[in-house]
Amino acid sequence: MGTTKPIVVLLFIIALTFTVTATTALPEGGTGYDDAVELDIGQEYNREEIVGEKEEFFYIDGIKPGQMVKFEGYFTPLEHDHCSLRLKMHNEDRRELGFEIMDQSFTKVWLPNSDQDSYTYYITIYNRYCSVEMENLEITLEDKFDAGSDTDAGDNPDEALEIEEGSYTGWLSGDSGTDEVDMYSIQVEEGEELSTELIPDSDAGYHIRYYNEDRSQVASTSSDNPGAITRLSYRSDRDQEMYIEIEEHHYNELAEYEFEVTRETPEAAELTVETLNTEGNVILLSEELDNGFKELELDHRDADTWSTTVEVVPGGEYMLEFESVTGFESPELSEMERYVNLGPGESKTIQGTYVQTGEEVEEEVEDEIETVTEEEGLLEMVANILGIENPLLLILVPAAILFVIIVVIILIIGLFIKMMTSKNKED
Ligand SMILES: [Ca+2]
Ligand SMILES: [Ca+2]
């Protein structure tokens, strides 16, 4: 029993010491930004009376990008129920960042982006209408870092956070901060499909956007509704570093999101085309491009039967088109599918016959056009050399001259015959 009493006293002293260091009196703040008083992170502050209408300036320092600042506390009106406390936060440029405490029990949060390496915030406190008692004012920091890093993913490609395939979590501030965009960078190879699946942990809605190495946007999508899972895929046409941008579009409270990033090379699909009785080119066209068809394969045959196999990645709907050798008439396709659906890894063979009609008509038309083309070509050439605008003059002018010469010759012969006849009569 003799040793129990000193131990209890010692424990009491330790507990008292702990209590004293855990809560401390809120010091009197400065009168402006220049003499603001520093508050310690993690320290609980109390003050028996905050006297009405006197603004006090404090500051906190050393907040990293992606660290959430949390204000908690409680105040009691001392005179009547209409008293209110105003606690506001300002950035280093002394711009007010946004919140004002009116409820007696309060919790406010703020999440900065990665524009700066470290942040200082000013805090101003004053009350309105009457004095209040401040209890347990505490400012703490919570890490809301992105993708397993120790920072916030930046807003642009230069500040993007480098990631690899995998599952991650990230944070965006909504209205409670400046962390409105998180951008990640990932290396992809030619032909790989980059996929992102984003699962909100709240009712927030998101935009996902992809940018290529030139920082051109190549794909984008948005949540159908707040809280919806959102997916985006894009097949890279080259080896490059791509950027994934995630942005909240239904602004909400500060919220966490999960996302999974994968890179996969789709299996090739194989299409074999067999045709009979045709002479020309079979072209396989992709229908999946926005700005028209992409020609995937062009082959030519002049035998009776023909077969070719095309490998396409990643599959989809394709169209077959026929182009005849002469180019004058496009024969109808017969007994052949025009549209082919190919899933990744799928193999398909299609057969058909082209009915090629009108070959004779085609040849006649061709001959006629060639003849006309030759004559016109010669006349135009001579007319050009002589500087005559209308090539028809080259025919009309010589014809007129010839006509005049013939008439003159006929007249001379007529005159000669008449003269000879008159002379004979005289003799
Ligand atoms: Ca973030
Ligand atoms: Ca960010």
CA of 224 to the centre of ligand 2 (A): 23
CA of 101 to the centre of ligand 2 (A): 26
Ligand nearest to the CA of 180: 2
- For residue 96, report the phi and psi dihedrals to the nearest 5 degrees: -70, 130
Helical axes 359-386 vs 393-426, angle rounded to 10°? 70
Ligand nearest to the CA of 154: 2
- Whether residue 91 is predicted with pLDDT greater than 70 in this model: the reply is yes
- Whether residue 321 is predicted with pLDDT greater than 80 in this model: the reply is no
Distance of CA 276 to CAs 45, 93, 272, 298, 325, Å? 91, 79, 14, 17, 15
**What residue type is 28 in one-letter code?**
E
| pLDDT tens-digit map of 166-179 | 999 999 999 899 99
pLDDT value at position 424? 73
CA of 37 to the centre of ligand 1 (A): 30
Residue with tokens 């919806």: 228
Residue with the larger pLDDT of the pair 410 and 250: 410
CA of 138 to the centre of ligand 1 (A): 24
pLDDT band for position 328 (50/70/90)? very low
Q: How is 3-55 classified by DSSP, letter by letter?
A: THHHHHHHHHHHHHHHHHHHEEEPPPPBSSSTTPEE--TT-EEEEEEE-TT--
CA of 238 to the centre of ligand 1 (A): 29
Mean pLDDT of 302-310: 60
CA of 59 to the centre of ligand 2 (A): 24
Ligand nearest to the CA of 156: 2
- Whether residue 308 is predicted with pLDDT greater than 50 in this model: the reply is yes
| Cβ atoms 87, 39 nearer than 8 A | no
Tell me, which fold does domain 157-264 have in CATH?
Jelly Rolls (2.60.120)
Ligand nearest to the CA of 115: 2
Looking at domain 4-142, its CATH architecture is: Sandwich (2.60)
CA of 154 to the centre of ligand 2 (A): 5
CA of 164 to the centre of ligand 2 (A): 18
Ligand nearest to the CA of 68: 1
Cα-trace Rg, the chain: 45
- Whether residue 87 is predicted with pLDDT greater than 90 in this model: the reply is no
CA of 97 to the centre of ligand 2 (A): 17
Mean pLDDT of 87-93: 90
**What residue type is 66 in one-letter code?**
G
**Cis preceding linkage at 314, omega within 30:** yes
CA of 106 to the centre of ligand 1 (A): 24
CA of 176 to the centre of ligand 2 (A): 13
Ligand nearest to the CA of 171: 1
CA of 180 to the centre of ligand 2 (A): 6
Mean pLDDT of 270-279: 64
CA of 241 to the centre of ligand 2 (A): 19
Task: Kindly list the protein residues that place their beta carbon closer than 5 angstroms to ligand 1, a single-atom ion.
Answer: 146, 152, 171, 179, 182
Ligand nearest to the CA of 245: 2
- Whether residue 392 is predicted with pLDDT greater than 60 in this model: the reply is yes
The segment with the largest mean pLDDT, out of 79-88, 103-112, 333-342, is 103-112
CATH among 1.20.1440.120, 2.40.50.140, 1.20.58.1610, 2.60.40.10 for 269-355: 2.60.40.10
CA of 354 to the centre of ligand 2 (A): 60
| Cβ atoms 153, 184 nearer than 8 A | yes
Ligand nearest to the CA of 145: 1
CA of 409 to the centre of ligand 2 (A): 103
CA count, 13 A, side-chain hemisphere, 172: 27
CA of 246 to the centre of ligand 1 (A): 9
CA of 43 to the centre of ligand 2 (A): 28
- Whether residue 426 is predicted with pLDDT greater than 70 in this model: the reply is no
CA–CA distance, 353 with 66 (Å, rounded to integer):
66
Q: Name which of 105-114, 190-199, 258-267, 276-285 the model is least confident about.
A: 276-285
Secondary element (H or E) of residue 99: none
CA count, 13 A, side-chain hemisphere, 100: 7
